[in-house]
């Protein structure tokens, strides 16, 4: 082959030879650069070490945590570059820059009153600690929250930078970036799952012939992998037995099981309703008491901090108790083992993410509480919430801080004391209780919950992604130390734990949930008239048509035409036709694959037939 290629090169022109040599050199350089860049990957050595000791299942959790840390960091860079940095440049007069502050237009005087509870004069150290934990006081008047950015435009030399428009576009950009990045990473996992689930028999072949994880170097991890494979094979056989049992059920047994499932689902709905109602009542109580304390300047009372954190405490308790009850109830519903895991996880995901939704609904019900003409001049409850966006940002900030405190506290005050007890106490109850398991599903739901808070809170607190990035960095090392020194890998890992597709699918649910409150805040709820970049607009979205009105007439007509029903209906029809075409194409490809599989089966039968004939001929 080499001789043939050398012979072909002789007949090439000098230009072709030079181009081919350059192409070869470029490929070599790119290959070496790619190899070198792998050494710059965050936590590369740590994750490889974890993979070697505990296998690819636990490694996938830490890889997922790294992905969220990078995603949060990029969101922070985006928000800082387009929102925070222009205000810093203008404050210090860099590049001869100046700032044009927003002056209220056609706004009632009462709506523009906003007096943040910043620290004045000498204060106790405890007050600074309380402000740091709750986002009030000196933090409320910093760039961390929405209320600080009361800037209409930044003039850098002769260029005008429209900060309200940049704020809105940066919000759309970080949501779109997150969505596209998750979809891109999900595609590979989805393809593997699709191929894996195409043939049930393939699952047995993979476990028997390709189930071993050759990255494992630790003997304990090897024993764990043995048990894991054994458990998975037992679960497969148990599923086959249960499927046969389900097929043999009588009508009486089916009625009993379905009645029991309906009853258990009613209990689950009651638990969820109780959690949601508790969060709603606690949030209303916390907001009322906090606002009274701020108006009366009661800021040194230790009970005030507890009142402010009540919603976060109740949400954390619901997130802890709910999954325990769901795991207990699922045993009585008589589902297949794999479906039991999926249903329990979906209930836990719904509980965690819906709790955030209920908290936001509770806040919005207070913000939009217009009884007795409370919202008359402004469109929202301006007496309790003169800058409601900052209040929502403070709630998201408290949720994130409390979530981090709980993770840190569980490791330091639960996992390590339990490890010491198991190591140094030979009592049978203690030894039976053993070390805590490192459950991948629980840990994944934990960080997805935190990332959902980050997505929702970034609009109300532009620097919240920076806090999330630092949080993920610390959590990585906390979880690593906990895994190595204080916990043990789960004996029964979920099947999806070895695939990032499962993590990303749940993460996508969290992102879709984040779209709703951010979208409602931008398009429906009146923006605060006392703070923020949108104080001269009825809603945050109005900055877009207001900017378009400054364009030339022709461009205005094109853009408004694209937003009209006359364009939207035909565009929707074209999209539907394209979707139906791809669905038909996918169906055709599926039929071709089925025919090829049938041909392969026939060819194997033909080979077996010929082998038998040859064997018979040799005998005769």
Instruction: Write out pLDDT tens, residues 234-275.
Output: 777 777 787 888 888 888 888 888 899 899 999 999 999 998
Q: Kindly report the number of other CB atoms within 10 A of residue 149's CB atom.
A: 22
- 552 Rama class: left (phi>0) / alpha (psi -120 to 50) / beta: beta
Determine phi and psi for 475, rounding to 5 degrees.
-60, -40
Quote the pTM value. Answer: 0.82
Mean pLDDT of the 62-86 span: 92
Q: Which is nearest to 312 in space by CA: 395, 433, 249, 386?
A: 395
- 434 Rama class: left (phi>0) / alpha (psi -120 to 50) / beta: left
Mean pLDDT of the 576-601 span: 87
pLDDT at 497 over 60: no
Q: Kindly report the number of other CB atoms within 10 A of residue 572's CB atom.
A: 11
Beta strands in 132-205 (DSSP E): 151-156, 159-162
Q: Kindly list the domain boundaries of the chain, sorted by start residue.
A: 52-197+249-532+556-563, 564-594
All residues at 6 or more sequence positions from 279 whose CB lies less than 8 Å from its CB, including other chains: 311, 314, 315, 318, 355, 358, 359, 362
Give how far the C-alpha of residue 411 lies from the chain's centroid of Cα atoms, to the nearest Å.
Answer: 22
Q: Kindly report the number of other CB atoms within 10 A of residue 226's CB atom.
A: 11
User: What gap in Å lies between CA 347 and CA 324, rounded to an integer?
Assistant: 11
Give how far the C-alpha of residue 488 lies from the chain's centroid of Cα atoms, to the nearest Å.
Answer: 26
User: What gap in Å lies between CA 231 and CA 474, rounded to an integer?
Assistant: 33
Q: Which is nearest to 294 in space by CA: 150, 394, 371?
A: 394
**In the chain, how long is the greatest CA-to-CA distance?**
110
Alpha helices in 296-387 (DSSP H): 302-308, 310-329, 337-367
All residues at 6 or more sequence positions from 187 whose CB lies less than 8 Å from its CB, including other chains: none
Q: Which is nearest to 538 in space by CA: 242, 230, 105, 42?
A: 105
Q: Which residue has the higher pLDDT, 558 or 498?
A: 558
pLDDT at 172 over 90: yes
Asked which of 149-158, 395-404, 601-610 is least confident by mean pLDDT, the reply is: 149-158
Q: pLDDT > 70: what percent of the chain?
A: 85
In this prediction, residue 176 has a pLDDT band, given cuts at 50, 70 and 90, of very high
> Per-residue pLDDT tens for 316-332?
888 888 888 888 888 88
pLDDT at 78 over 50: yes
Q: What is the pLDDT of residue 292?
A: 59
Q: What is the pLDDT of residue 124?
A: 64
Structure tokens at 189: 């996992």
pLDDT at 196 over 70: no
All residues at 6 or more sequence positions from 340 whose CB lies less than 8 Å from its CB, including other chains: 330, 331, 333
Task: Give Cα separations from 588 to 574, 581, 582 (angstroms).
Answer: 21, 11, 10
Asked which of 203-217, 411-425, 541-555 is least confident by mean pLDDT, the reply is: 203-217
In this prediction, residue 294 has a pLDDT band, given cuts at 50, 70 and 90, of low
Asked which of 100-114, 390-404, 450-464 is least confident by mean pLDDT, the reply is: 100-114
Q: What is the pLDDT of residue 208?
A: 81
pLDDT at 218 over 50: yes
Question: Among 22-26, 105-109, 471-475, 513-517, which range has the highest average pLDDT?
Answer: 471-475
User: What gap in Å lies between CA 36 and CA 583, rounded to an integer?
Assistant: 42
User: Which secondary structure element, helix H or strand E, spans residue 438, and what is its range?
Assistant: strand 436-438
Structure tokens at 561: 């035409």
Q: What is the pLDDT of residue 496?
A: 44
Specify whether the CB–CB gap between 246 and 238 falls below 8 A: no
Residue tagged 């998750």 (tokens): 182
Q: Which is nearest to 225 in space by CA: 207, 202, 247?
A: 207
Structure tokens at 281: 């009542």
Q: Which residue has the higher pLDDT, 417 or 100?
A: 417
User: What gap in Å lies between CA 503 and CA 490, rounded to an integer?
Assistant: 17
> Per-residue pLDDT tens for 339-382?
777 788 888 888 888 888 888 888 888 887 766 666 677 777 77
Structure tokens at 329: 């109830």
User: What gap in Å lies between CA 448 and CA 352, rounded to an integer?
Assistant: 9
> Per-residue pLDDT tens for 440-490?
778 888 899 999 999 999 999 999 999 999 999 999 999 999 888 888 776
Asked which of 298-307, 389-398, 454-463, 522-531 is least confident by mean pLDDT, the reply is: 298-307
In this prediction, residue 200 has a pLDDT band, given cuts at 50, 70 and 90, of low
Alpha-carbon torsion 179, 183, 189, 195, what sign?
A: positive
Q: Which residue has the higher pLDDT, 590 or 156?
A: 590
Sheet of 159-162: strand order equals: 98-101, 151-156, 159-162
Q: What is the pLDDT of residue 300?
A: 46
């Amino acid at each position: 082959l080499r001789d043939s290629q050398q012979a072909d090169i002789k007949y090439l022109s000098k230009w072709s030879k030079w181009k081919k040599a350059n192409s070869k050199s470029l490929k070599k350089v790119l290959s070496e650069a790619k190899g070198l860049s792998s050494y710059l990957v965050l936590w590369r050595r740590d994750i490889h070490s974890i993979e070697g000791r505990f296998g690819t299942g636990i490694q996938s959790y830490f890889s997922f945590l790294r992905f969220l840390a990078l995603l949060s960091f990029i969101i922070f860079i985006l928000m800082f570059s387009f929102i925070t940095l222009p205000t810093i440049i203008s404050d210090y007069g860099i590049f001869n820059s100046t700032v044009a502050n927003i002056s209220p237009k056609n706004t009632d005087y009462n709506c523009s009153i906003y007096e943040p509870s910043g620290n004045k004069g000498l204060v106790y150290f405890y007050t600074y600690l309380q402000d740091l934990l709750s986002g009030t006081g000196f933090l409320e008047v910093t760039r961390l929250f929405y209320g600080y950015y009361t800037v209409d435009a930044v003039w850098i030399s002769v260029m005008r930078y429209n900060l309200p428009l940049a704020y809105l576009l940066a919000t759309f950009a970080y949501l779109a970036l997150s969505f596209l990045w998750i979809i891109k990473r999900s595609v590979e996992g989805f393809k593997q799952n699709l191929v894996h689930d195409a043939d049930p028999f393939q699952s047995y072949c993979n476990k028997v012939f390709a189930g071993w994880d050759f990255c494992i170097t630790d003997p304990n991890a090897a024993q764990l992998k043995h048990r894991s494979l054994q458990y998975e094979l037992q679960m497969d056989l148990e599923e086959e037995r249960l499927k046969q049992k389900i097929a043999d059920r009588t009508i009486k047994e089916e009625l009993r099981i379905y009645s029991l499932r309906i009853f258990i689902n009613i209990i689950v709905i009651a638990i969820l309703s109780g959690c949601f109602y508790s969060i709603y009542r606690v949030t209303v109580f916390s907001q009322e008491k906090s606002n009274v304390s701020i108006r009366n300047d009661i800021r040194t009372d230790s009970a005030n901090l507890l009142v402010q954190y009540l919603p976060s405490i109740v949400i954390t308790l619901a997130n802890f108790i709910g999954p325990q009850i769901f795991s207990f109830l699922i045993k009585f519903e008589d589902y297949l083992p794999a479906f039991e895991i999926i249903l329990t996880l979906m209930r836990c995901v719904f509980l965690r993410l819906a709790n955030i939704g209920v908290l936001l609904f509770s806040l919005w019900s207070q913000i939009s509480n217009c009884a007795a003409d409370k919202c008359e001049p402004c469109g929202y409850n301006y007496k309790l919430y003169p800058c409601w966006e900052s209040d929502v940002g403070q709630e998201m900030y408290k949720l994130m801080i409390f979530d981090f405190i709980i993770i840190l506290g569980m490791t330091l005050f639960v996992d390590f004391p339990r490890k010491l007890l198991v190591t140094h106490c030979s009592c049978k109850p203690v030894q039976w209780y053993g070390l805590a398991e490192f459950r991948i599903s629980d840990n994944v739901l934990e960080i997805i919950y935190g990332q959902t808070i980050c997505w929702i809170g970034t609009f109300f607190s532009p620097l919240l992604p920076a806090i999330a990035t630092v949080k993920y960095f610390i959590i990585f090392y906390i979880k690593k130390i906990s895994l190595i020194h204080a916990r043990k890998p789960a004996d029964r890992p979920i099947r999806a734990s070895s695939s990032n597709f499962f993590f990303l699918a749940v993460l996508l649910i969290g992102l879709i949930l984040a779209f709703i409150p951010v979208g409602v805040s931008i398009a429906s709820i009146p923006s605060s008239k006392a703070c923020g970049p949108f104080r001269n607009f009825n809603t945050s979205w109005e900055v877009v048509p207001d900017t378009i009105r400054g364009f030339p007439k022709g461009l205005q007509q094109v853009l408004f035409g694209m937003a009209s029903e006359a364009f939207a209906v035909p565009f929707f029809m074209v999209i539907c036709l394209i979707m139906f075409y791809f669905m038909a194409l996918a169906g055709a490809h599926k039929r071709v694959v089925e025919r090829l599989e049938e041909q392969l089966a026939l060819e194997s039968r033909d080979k077996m037939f010929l082998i038998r004939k040859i064997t018979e001929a040799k005998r005769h």
